[in-house]
Amino acid sequence: MTTVVREVREQFNPARPTQCIGTVELLTLNETKAVVTAAHNAFEGWKNTSSIARGEVLRLTADLLEKNIDKVAEIASCEMGKTKSEMLGEVKRGASILRYFAQEGMRAVGEVLPSANESKILYTMRVPLGVVAAITPWNFPVAIPLWKIAPALVYGNTVVWKPSIEAALTGKLIGELFQRAGLPENVLHVVQGRGSKVGQVLLEAPEVKAITFTGSNNVGQSILDTAGSTNKKIQLELGGKNAAIILADANIKQAAKLTIEGAMKQTGQRCTATSRVYIEEAIYEEVLQRLTEEAKKIEVGVTMGPVSSKGQYDSILAAIEKAQLDGAELIFGGGPTQGMKEGYYIDPTIFSNVTHDMAIAREEIFGPVLAVIKVKDYEEAIRLSNDSDFGLSASIYTTNIPKAFDFINRSEVGLVQVNDETGGAEPQAPFGGMKNSSTGAREQGQAAKEFFTTFKTITIGTKVE
């Protein structure tokens, strides 16, 4: 009998980098291929299971997630650095996602259409694809996987899920909750490993019919290069460089507060985080002062956690250094948090006198860094806001209704916010961006079925000669 030798990876706490919080075994390439085959073999049975019964498994998983909310939040917080309170909110959001898609099992799966021939019945039905590979990031280790897995399962697909290696323990726990809820064997597999190895197997396996991925643009491009020429459906949610616009007629206090929240929540490690803000020159100095005041209220280590890893830490500090070399003026933060004995903590950071051509105004940083840019008026603000390779989210702060609706119409993003920060998405609403921020069908809401199902059209002749 051959003994499988697996690599064992230790998981460390970014708040205490010497603290090992657990270990995870990484699958071999052959084991990953076997998992895909098992999911393929389980598809027929799961596809033919009542959609109502499939939804009931999601409902029971939501119940278990809520019962284990403290345990899940604690593990995820220790694994990737998000504060415990932020993780508790994310776990609740995960339960809401499961409950929303549980109800999808009771919704219509097609429609009856009129036929030109009176002796024929014409109708459509949505059918599952087969094995879906879900590849998810570390920054939302509960919510993002669930808004992929839940619709995939309720619509009748089987799933092979590769969580980020930085959130492996959280992924293992989520997988166990699905099993405890009664999900049949091999319908959902959690595969642990590096994207360059395990992920590559998922991209190349012929049994995999669809790939849904959230992560960096570089990895997204490699997925397109590898799987784009196959017949697989591909859904990519990638980066963002999300802009906020603050006009002179805005509620300045509210705008400053929400802009800082948008930039600094989850330590800025959100694809929808506010990364640049355009302020009309008439109120520029006042808003800048209020932004600084709001940033001072953040308690690093209490209300804002560490960044997720040493790699993130080094990358963010390098971006801050480059901004200074490019001529941006550092007005708050700008380095490692003083007084912290250990951990990858970085102060909330604000730069002023930023020009639109600087890297800090154009490149995703994925950390607690905000670029502040002065503009003459609304027209300049929206022009610069749209002048980006990304198109995920944008917000405007104004009391001028015509300008608010003009912004809604002209903003080149998938998520538009008026008098609110750039982040946030509810389970019933489509999520996704434009330009280099997304590829393929939207996630969440009724839009999810566009990716996880395909149409079958049926014609029945009713006339017997």
Query: What residues are labeled active site?
Result: 237
3-state secondary structure of 345: coil
Please work out, in degrees rounded to the nearest 5, the angle formed at the alpha carbon of residue 184 by the alpha carbons of 180 and 189: 85
Q: Cβ(13)–Cβ(21) under 8 Å?
A: yes
Cα–Cα distance between 47 and 49 in angstroms, integer? 6
Q: Which token pair is 145?
A: 């996987």
Query: What is the layout of strands, in order, in the sheet containing 453-461?
Result: 112-113, 120-128, 453-461
To which residue do tokens 């290696």 refer? 165
**CB contact set of 118 (below 8 Å; sequence gap of 6+):** none
Contact between residue 313 and residue 346 where contact means Cβ atoms under 8 Å apart:
yes
Contact (CB, 8 A) for 292 and 332: yes
Q: Is the CB of residue 384 less than 8 Å from the CB of residue 356?
A: yes
Sign of CA dihedral 413, 415, 418, 420: negative
Cα(274)–Cα(240) distance, integer angstroms: 9
- One DSSP character per residue, 98-111 reads HHHHHHGGGS----
72 dihedral zone (left: phi>0; alpha: psi -120 to 50; beta): alpha
In 251-335, where do the E strands start and end?
274-280, 329-332
Q: CA-CA distance, 402 to 54, in Å (whole number)? A: 46
Buried/exposed code over 281-299 (b: 16+ C-beta within 10 A; e: otherwise): eebbeebbebbbebbeebe
Tokens at 346, concatenated:
């970085």
Task: Please say whether the beta carbons of 313 and 280 come within 8 A.
Answer: no
Quote the tokens at residue 124. Answer: 């459509």
